A and B are shown apart, each in its own frame.
Chain A
């Protein structure tokens, strides 16, 4: 270990990986197999005397303050390192609002004076934990479920699907079912709902869900008493049903997966279906994977997919991480190698031109030969 220390002195400081989720923040060092801390994305605000969530903001200034406080907490209470002159790998969704990205960059570069930031999207990072050339990443976060096809480390952008079917949708349904059972609005706080979900709820298999929808519902699972709240068996079983509820818009989770596959080039569709990875904290619900598999196998034989998709099997991967840290571990793997470090946006660069590359920005996605390039003096 003495040798390691000697090298560490010469070498660059170990970078940190930051995954600022809506509910939980994952933070730790590159090259490690798990984050150092998973904490709620909130901080104590002494002025208003309550916890404030990082993602609750009305203006850029407010978000700036939130991020400064949150990162201070992470750096000095949990991970205990100097942020200065240290690289950061930021795990973000491809659909992160521009305001959030730009403000986070401003906080990291000007407030914490980090030496470089690597911006990495969670879809590719999840695929990185598998090592397979093709992966279909279904990541269920707090707010949204995103389906992202990663083919040879490239995201098929036009096939990207996103639906508001995250953990919040499950929480809302669970709260509704509990209220219905109690006969009065219980107004349970979010953490109690989460606690009930984590301890008692599961996703019932497809056959049972069909029975529930029919006229003869099955005998519900045992009911549980959590604190003062009586959780009926039906609520335990059916709280995740909104993820699979289909309507004319085909906006359920399995529909999103199939729509993503259908939008991909013809020759990778089978490979994608054979390499599905479920990631994100919302995917940790018991039975969710089995239910999704059953739904996918059933739906692919139904219109409108039976005419366009000829997929006979869906296969699922087990990532070398818990569901909620999957993207983080991908970030830790990427940030440890030289390849990741070379892709960092250095501080000097940001000083010259304080903007970030973004896949939706025409400045970044116009091909070099495109005639518009000449007009823009790029």
Chain B
């Protein structure tokens, strides 16, 4: 059971040991295991601008530093800026009316000019002296980082040093090798290598690298340090003129201190992510390319594959007492499902039983051996929870019909009710269960019950070439039910 604003009352234990509601779990159809956001591999699928819903190829996004070229954020309040149009009379040159006769007639037409404005805080691009633009989108002046030139110099310098280091190493190794070698060249005999010859002659050893090293000027320290302005003690502080920390950090290149130096921030792109199972490398979700669409091409969510449990109601939990618990189970799959409730202790440990699989699989594994993937298994944790109560599982096998969207319209519930099954309706089933709470449970502590579920699952993945795999599987899952707090008698 998952709510948008309420805590998660029913949590499933993911195969990696995390406790998550069913809505944030995935189900890998190839491993037949529940996965969660923690134990799958996230990948960037496509870049898009969340404001104009424009797709951007990843190479272009990289060039534009992941920023949209037409949308801007307010540097003051981070709201999206809107483009506003004004009619501007072009400035007239009046000195020489006779000469500018024709031109004046044309330029008399008022021209549309655009500026950026924030509807939230009323900041406009005119506030900071950015000239209005004649085109609606793009063309806004770009600023360069004041430190960029120096950083590029540093980059060149260190690259040149690395290159020189490498060359010297090669030189040394060649010398070593040549001494042992059979053939003695003239340069070796005279102890003269090309680099040395150039060195003796006073020539730069190799043109580009050493010139970069020679022309590099290290930073110059100065004894004078910038003192505080004299009027700092007497001047009134105008807080409206000073930027806040978030405003500064929004543009890491400039970090403006004064409001007058704020510039529109090009909107940061968003990404669509696809998710992949770490164990088998199959996609769990893959979004559609179109930024406007919220659908998925592949969507293996646990919500569509794992029986869902909801708490209808329960009696207050008392230490050492038995209380009734009403649960609703539903089968989201398109196949009939048989269910059994178990104690969590009775779940067979899923110690990756290595059934003899197809030859291809074992071959694949032997190929992967040298990659040594054992140490890169995602972290699996023992789930942390303290269950003070446990559900007494009834010894019955329940059958849940497949999900049928049309069944919603006929309302005759099947009446095979008994003392466990309260009612049954298409793919849903309500159960009356008993919860036994430990004597030791303290009043006021959270009441947590655990329950294991055995269910049959029909795998609809088109089988591989060797179609001998069983299509029906028996799977297990454990859920943690939140039953409020233990009431003190």
| Total residues of chain A contacting the partner, CB 8 A | 89
Instruction: Give the distance to chain B from A334, nearest Cβ to Cβ, in Å.
Output: 7
- Given contacts A113-B41, A290-B225, whether A198 and B145 have CB atoms under 8 Å apart is no
Do residues A316 and B225 form an inter-chain contact, with CB atoms below 8 A?
yes
Q: Which of B41, B47, B152, B165 is the one whose CB lies under 8 Å from A339?
A: B165
Q: Does B219 contact A (CB under 8 A)?
A: yes
Is the contact region of chain A dominated by helix, strand, or loop, or is it mixed?
mixed
How many angstroms between the C-alpha atoms of A315 and B220 in the bound complex? 9
Counting CB contacts under 8 A, is A217 at the interface? Answer: no
Q: How far is the CA of A339 from the CA of B226 in the complex (A)?
A: 36
B239 touches A199 (CB 8 A): yes
Closest chain A residue to B20, Cβ basis: A47
Among B166, B234, B269, contact of A222 (Cβ-Cβ < 8 Å): B234
Are A317 and B239 in contact, CB atoms less than 8 angstroms apart? no
A320:B221 contact, CB within 8 angstroms: no
Which of the residues B219, B273, B375 comes within 8 Å of A319, measured between beta carbons? Answer: B219
Q: Is the CB of A132 within 8 A of B43?
A: no
Contact of B157 among A111, A131, A233, A286 (CB under 8 A): A131
* A199: chain B residues within 8 A (beta carbon): 237, 239, 242, 244
A36 to B372 CA separation, bound complex (whole angstroms): 35
Give Cα A219–Cα B334 distance, bound, in whole angstroms. Answer: 81
Q: Which residues of B contact A332 (CB under 8 A)?
A: 151
Q: A195 on the interface (CB 8 Å rule)?
A: yes
With A33-B151, A34-B253, A286-B228 known as contacts, the answer to whether A128 contacts B42 (CB < 8 A) is no
B235 and A72 within 8 A (CB): no
CB within 8 Å for A128 and B154 given contacts A194-B245, A198-B245, A224-B239: yes
CB distance from A11 to the nearest CB of B (A): 13
A35-B252, A199-B242, A332-B151 known; A1 vs B378 contact (CB < 8 Å):
no
Q: Which one of B58-66, B303-311, B361-369 contacts A?
A: B58-66
- Mask: chain B, 211-234; 1 = CB below 8 Å from A; 0 = not: 000001111111101111000111
Interface centre among A72, A222, A337 (most CB of B within 10 A): A337
Q: How far is the CB of A247 from chain B (nearest CB, A)?
A: 26
Interface residues of B in 38-88 (CB under 8 A from A): 38, 41-44, 47, 59, 61-63, 65-66
Interface check B376, CB cutoff 8 A: yes
Compute how far the CA of A234 lies from the CA of B473 in the bound complex, rounded to whole angstroms: 74
Query: In whole angstroms, what is the CA distance A39 to B248 when docked?
Result: 11
For A221, give the chain B residue with the smallest CB separation: B233
On whether A333 and B158 interact (CB within 8 A), knowing A24-B249, A222-B233, A274-B221, the answer reads yes
What mask results when residues 248 to 259 of chain A are scored 1 for a CB within 8 Å of chain B, else 0? 000000000000
Q: How far is the CA of A334 from the CA of B151 in the complex (A)?
A: 11
A269 to B47, CA, bound (A): 52
What 1/0 flags go to B226-270 for Cβ under 8 Å of A? Answer: 111000111111010010110011001101000000000000111
B433: min CB distance to chain A, Å: 27
CB-CB contacts of A276-305 with B at 8 A, as 1s and 0s?
A: 100000000011011001000000000000
List residues of chain A with CB within 8 A of the CB of B166. Answer: 338
A185 beta carbon closer than 8 Å to chain B: no
Contact (Cβ within 8 A) B221 A316: yes
- By beta carbon, the residue of chain A nearest B237 is A224
Between A1, A82, A224, the greatest number of chain B beta carbons within 10 A of the residue's beta carbon is seen for A82
| CB < 8 Å neighbour of B44 from A33, A81, A131, A276 | A81
A33-B253, A84-B43, A131-B216 as given contacts; A111 in contact with B378, CB under 8 Å = yes
A-side contacts of B126, CB under 8 Å: none
Which residues of B sit under 8 angstroms from A333, Cβ to Cβ?
151, 154-155, 158
| Distance, CA A109 to CA B165, complexed state (A) | 29
A313 lies within 8 A of B219 (CB): no
Cross-chain contact A290 with B234 (CB below 8 angstroms): no
Assess whether B407 is interfacial by the CB under 8 Å rule. no
Interface mask (B395-423 → A, CB under 8 Å = 1, otherwise 0): 00000000000000000000000000000
CB of A76 within 8 A of CB of B162, answer no
Residues from chain A with Cβ under 8 Å of B219 in the complex? 129-132, 317-320
Residue B159, interface by CB 8 Å: yes
Cα(A289)–Cα(B236), bound, Å: 23
Is A205 a contact of B227 with CB atoms below 8 Å? yes
The answer to the question of A263 belonging to the interface, with a C-beta cut-off of 8 Å to chain B, is no
B350 within 8 A of A: no
Among candidates A31, A76, A128, A130, residue contacting B273 with C-beta atoms closer than 8 Å: A76
Q: Which residues of A contact B65 (CB under 8 A)?
A: 36
Is B271 an interface residue when CB atoms closer than 8 A count as contact? yes
Q: List A residues 115-137 near B (Cβ within 8 Å).
A: 128-133
Q: Which residues in A have their C-beta under 8 angstroms from that of B182?
A: none
**Is A78 interfacial (CB 8 A cutoff)?**
yes
Residues A72 and B42 in contact, CB atoms below 8 Å apart? yes
Contact of B161 among A289, A290, A339 (CB under 8 A): A339
Q: Which residues of A contact B216 (CB under 8 A)?
A: 131
Task: Find out whether the CB atom of A110 lies under 8 angstroms from the CB atom of B151.
Answer: no
Contacts of A219 in B (CB 8 A): 233
Is B379 part of the binding interface, using a Cβ–Cβ cutoff of 8 Å?
Answer: yes
Chain A residues with Cβ below 8 Å from B218 are 130-133
Complex: chain A residue closest to B228, CB-CB:
A287
Q: B147 near A: Cβ within 8 Å?
A: yes
B359 on the interface (CB 8 Å rule)? no
Q: Is A325 an interface residue (CB 8 A)?
A: yes
Q: Which of B66, B221, B253, B379 contacts A64 (CB 8 A)?
A: B379
Does A329 lie within 8 Å of B381, measured CB to CB? no
Determine if A314 and B158 form an interchain contact, defined as CB atoms under 8 angstroms apart. Answer: no
Give A218's nearest chain B residue, CB to CB. Answer: B233
List CB contacts (< 8 Å) of A5-54 with chain B: 5, 8, 24, 26, 28, 31-39
Give Cα A302 to B197, complex, Å. 55
Whether B159 and A351, one on each chain, are in contact in the complex, defined by CB atoms closer than 8 angstroms, is: no
Q: What A residues does B245 contact at CB under 8 A?
A: 191, 194-195, 198
Whether the Cβ atoms of B221 and A109 lie closer than 8 Å is no
Select the residue from B145, B225, B270 with max chain A CB neighbours within 10 A: B225
Chain B positions within 8 Å of A324 at CB level: 255
Bound complex: CA of A49 vs CA of B375, how far in Å?
A: 34
Is the CB–CB distance between A33 and B66 below 8 Å? no
In whole Å, how far is A234's beta carbon from the nearest beta carbon of chain B?
11
Q: Does B150 contact A (CB under 8 A)?
A: yes
Q: Does A68 touch B at the CB level, under 8 Å?
A: yes
Q: List 29 A-B contacts (CB under 8 A).
A: A33-B145, A33-B152, A34-B252, A34-B253, A38-B249, A64-B379, A80-B44, A82-B44, A106-B379, A111-B378, A129-B151, A130-B218, A130-B219, A131-B217, A131-B219, A132-B219, A132-B221, A191-B245, A222-B236, A224-B237, A274-B221, A289-B225, A290-B225, A315-B223, A325-B252, A329-B151, A332-B151, A338-B162, A339-B165
Given contacts A34-B252, A318-B219, A352-B372, 4 further A-B contacts (CB under 8 A): A34-B253, A128-B158, A130-B218, A195-B244
Across the A-B interface, the 6 shortest Cβ-Cβ residue pairs: A315-B221, A320-B150, A339-B162, A33-B151, A130-B219, A320-B147
B-side residues, CB < 8 A to A, are 38, 41-44, 47, 59, 61-63, 65-66, 145, 147-148, 150-152, 154-155, 157-159, 161-163, 165-166, 216-223, 225-228, 232-237, 239, 242, 244-245, 248-249, 252-253, 255, 268-271, 273, 372, 375-379, 381
